[in-house]
């Protein structure tokens, strides 16, 4: 799919959740290719949007797609980890809405040189932005026990020990530098594909999450977003796999004043604060028509909350 033909996931539901009053403002903390932002700007003629993204390639495309909206759009190359700082610096101190569209984008998956997908043999990079450690560098240095934890916790790989052992043995002979090499190592440990899901899928997901430290930034970013909202403002978060969605659900629960301490705790120590009212007890998901049109949307879940008065 050409990036300029990008179709944002759950767009109708996002528009319903975030349509602000006249003259409103929204922070799109993961603007990506600008799909959701463009739909919101087209619907709300006086809306101003701050779009953030850690990926400069995506931001350049968003700049092109949103150019027609002129000064109603401000784009910043920054991670959503910094949402409060960036919003304040650009005059978005109390906003009507915040959107997070988490995870990897179609642009990143479909650009062979980025190393996100084993469909293309490419350098094992996997970084959302130009800084930081590549996936190949992580694989070269990580200990076997830590690798087992990464594969188990971030990839939900049931045979994490077997895969980790195979990777450690392989790198003793030769560094694992490409997506194709990593996939072959995983297949040597798990055997060939027997169904629709490639055996390397979980390993690639785990390594991508570790490379970009994706999960650890979600709870603090959601809390920052909640504090940015004016009373009545809406927060919308799209997650694509269970690890993300569990963190989103827990963060929203905590910010709605509910305890998230582990079951059986003697006393609450998490100090919940009621900043939000959850508007989606069950997350919104794509209908059959959207999944047929965009198969990558099939696992998307949208959760929405409102800032209390």
Between 144-155 and 160-173, two packed helices, what is the crossing angle to 10 degrees? 130
The domain limits of the chain are: 3-103+215-307, 114-212
The DSSP element (H or E) to which 84 belongs, if any, is helix 83-89
Confidence of residue 5 (pLDDT cuts 50, 70, 90): low
Confidence of residue 112 (pLDDT cuts 50, 70, 90): confident
Confidence of residue 223 (pLDDT cuts 50, 70, 90): very high
Confidence of residue 32 (pLDDT cuts 50, 70, 90): very high
Residue whose pair of structure tokens reads 């799209």 in the numeric block: 238
Range from 63-72, 166-175, 189-198, 219-228 carrying the lowest mean pLDDT: 189-198
pLDDT for residue 9 = 94
For the domain 114-212, what is the CATH code? 1.10.150.170
Calculate mean pLDDT across residues 88-98. 95
Structural contact between residues 226 and 87, judged by C-beta atoms closer than 8 angstroms? no
pLDDT for residue 4 = 46
Q: How many CB atoms lie within 10 A of CB 143?
A: 10
Which architecture does CATH list for 3-103+215-307? Answer: 3-Layer(aba) Sandwich (3.40)
Confidence of residue 109 (pLDDT cuts 50, 70, 90): confident
Question: The whole model's pTM is what?
Answer: 0.91
Structural contact between residues 56 and 81, judged by C-beta atoms closer than 8 angstroms? no
pLDDT for residue 6 = 67
The burial class, CB within 10 Å (0-12 / 13-18 / 19+), for 244 is: buried
Buried-exposed string 195-217: b where 16+ CB fall within 10 A, e elsewhere: eeebbbbbbbbbbbbbbbebbeb
Range from 34-43, 123-132, 274-283 carrying the lowest mean pLDDT: 123-132
Confidence of residue 113 (pLDDT cuts 50, 70, 90): confident
Q: How far apart are CA 249 and CA 244, in angstroms?
A: 9
The separation between the first and the last C-alpha atoms of the chain, rounded to the nearest angstrom, is 43
Q: What are the φ/ψ torsions at residue 305 (nearest 5 degrees)?
A: -140, 160
Q: What is the pLDDT of residues 234-271, one digit of tens each?
A: 999 999 999 999 999 999 999 999 888 888 787 888 88
């Amino acid at each position: 799919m050409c990036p300029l033909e990008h179709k944002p996931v759950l767009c109708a539901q996002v528009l319903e959740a975030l349509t602000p009053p006249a003259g409103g403002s929204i922070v799109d903390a993961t603007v990506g290719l600008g799909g959701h932002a463009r739909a919101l700007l087209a619907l709300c003629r006086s809306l101003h949007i701050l779009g953030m993204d850690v990926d400069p390639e995506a931001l350049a495309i968003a700049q092109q797609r949103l150019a027609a909206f002129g000064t109603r759009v401000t784009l910043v190359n920054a991670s959503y980890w910094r949402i409060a700082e960036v919003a304040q610096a650009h005059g978005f101190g109390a906003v009507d809405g915040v959107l997070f569209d988490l995870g990897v984008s179609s642009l990143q998956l479909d650009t062979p040189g980025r190393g996100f997908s084993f469909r293309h043999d490419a350098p094992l990079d996997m970084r959302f932005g130009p800084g930081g450690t590549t996936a190949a560098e992580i694989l070269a240095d990580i200990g076997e026990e830590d690798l087992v934890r990464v594969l188990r916790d971030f990839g939900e790989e049931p045979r994490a020990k077997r895969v980790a052992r195979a990777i450690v043995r392989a790198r003793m002979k030769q560094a694992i530098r490409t997506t194709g090499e990593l996939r072959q190592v995983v297949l040597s440990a798990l055997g060939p594909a027997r169904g629709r899901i490639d055996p390397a899928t979980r390993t690639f997901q785990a390594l991508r999450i570790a490379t970009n430290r994706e999960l650890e930034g979600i709870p603090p970013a959601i809390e920052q977003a909640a504090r940015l909202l004016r009373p009545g403002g809406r927060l919308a978060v799209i997650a694509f796999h269970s690890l993300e969605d569990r963190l989103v659900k827990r963060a929203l629960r905590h910010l709605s004043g509910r305890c998230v301490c582990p079951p059986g705790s003697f006393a609450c120590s998490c100090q919940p604060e009621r900043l939000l009212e959850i508007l989606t007890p069950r997350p919104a998901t794509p209908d059959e028509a959207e999944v047929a049109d965009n198969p990558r949307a099939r696992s998307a879940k949208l959760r929405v909350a409102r800032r209390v008065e």
